[in-house]
Amino acid sequence: MRKGIPAQGLLYIDEKETAQKIEEYIRRSVDEKMAGGVIMGLSGGVDSALLAALAVRALGKDRVCVYFLQGKYSEKDSLDKARLVSEHLSLNLNIDSIEKAMREKEKGAPFFKWLTTVPDFMLPVIAAIYYMTVGETPYITTLRKNEIKKNRFKKWVYEHIMDGVEKMFDGPCAERRVVLEKIAVEKNFLLIGAGNKSEDMTGWFTVDGIDNMPCSPINCLYKTQVNQLAEYLGMPDAIMKRKPTADVLKGATDALALGMGYDKIDLALYGIEHNLSDEDISVYGLTIPEIRKVRRIYFLSAWKREDNVKYYGRF
């Protein structure tokens, strides 16, 4: 790696060629399953918006079925943004709810329920207190949940705090998949997911959830590449500007959970994928501690990828 090369150049994609390849992958996947079309969830975020746009380009709007499945703690404007995407693509948005199923799970997550009552600005403070007390971020605790059972204190923290939080984050993704899989069978449509490469490499997904589908056409793209392609395809500004979030707890963004934004995460992941040293990656504006943080997340989340039997939607 040489100094003077723009960092974003590492992740730059040929938009036209990339779109064509993903569209061909979608068409091929539908043909192989002899399906009538595709069905997917719209969250109001850029990933599902991009996937919907590519599906429409690949199959036509009449063969693309989109659903918004309302969660109890979804952002207030999530439905509005899902409507914006569907209108932009001339799709009919089906609306349903998973609140009843999540209400049962919530009974076993008192700490998460308390978190829903605190102001957004307090979440980083609570996360910082957690780090000072436990010695790691909440997300790292969930990745190490089997290992930390050997430590009495961390085992107690996981069982009484993080277990419920993790279930409330994973629950909506799992429940949405259950709902859409049933509809997909009834309609003979192929269910597709909008998980991306950054989420996969950091483990920021729910195993067997809607963000972890056997057919995940944009799983070949880092988050920054998703943004690049979405902008190329003319996604609405309101969608492009939305902060990446699991849309489970207001204010709980991906950056808060992972410890930094995707602009840095993706550069570190690219280096990891291409077996580059920390020093080589740091040329592109990351500090060694930042790179090591991403490496640790990648290493600790390996079990999620190993336990995950799926076909990657790569070219």
Q: Which tens digit of pLDDT belongs to each residue from 116-134?
A: 999 989 999 999 999 999 9
Give the residue ranges of DSSP H helices in the chain.
Answer: 15-33, 46-59, 78-88, 99-106, 110-115, 122-134, 138-143, 152-157, 163-187, 197-202, 223-232, 237-240, 254-258, 262-273, 278-282, 288-300, 302-306
In this predicted structure, what is the pLDDT of residue 125?
96
Tokens (6 digits) for 205: 């997904």
CA-based angle 269:272:276, to the nearest 5?
A: 130
User: How confident is the model over 190-210, as pLDDT tens digits?
Assistant: 999 999 999 999 999 999 999
Domain 7-306 has CATH 3.30.1300.10: no
Hey, where are the domains in the chain?
A: 7-306
Q: What does the H/E/C string look like for 15-44?
A: HHHHHHHHHHHHHHHHHHHCCCCEEEECCC
Q: Name the 3-class secondary structure at 78.
A: helix
Higher-pLDDT residue of 54, 310: 54
Q: Residue 310: which pLDDT band, with cuts at 50, 70 and 90?
A: very low
In this predicted structure, what is the pLDDT of residue 3?
40
The whole-angstrom distance between residue 115's C-alpha and the CA centroid of its chain comes to 21
Residue in the block written with tokens 């909506």? 172
Residue 315 confidence (pLDDT) above 60: no
Residue in the block written with tokens 């592109």? 284
User: How confident is the model over 79-125, as pLDDT tens digits?
Assistant: 999 999 999 999 999 999 999 888 888 888 999 999 999 998 999 99
Q: Residue 22 and residue 231: Cα distance in Å, rounded?
A: 16
In this predicted structure, what is the pLDDT of residue 307?
62
Q: Residue 20 and residue 54: Cα distance in Å, rounded?
A: 9
Across the chain, mean pLDDT equals 92
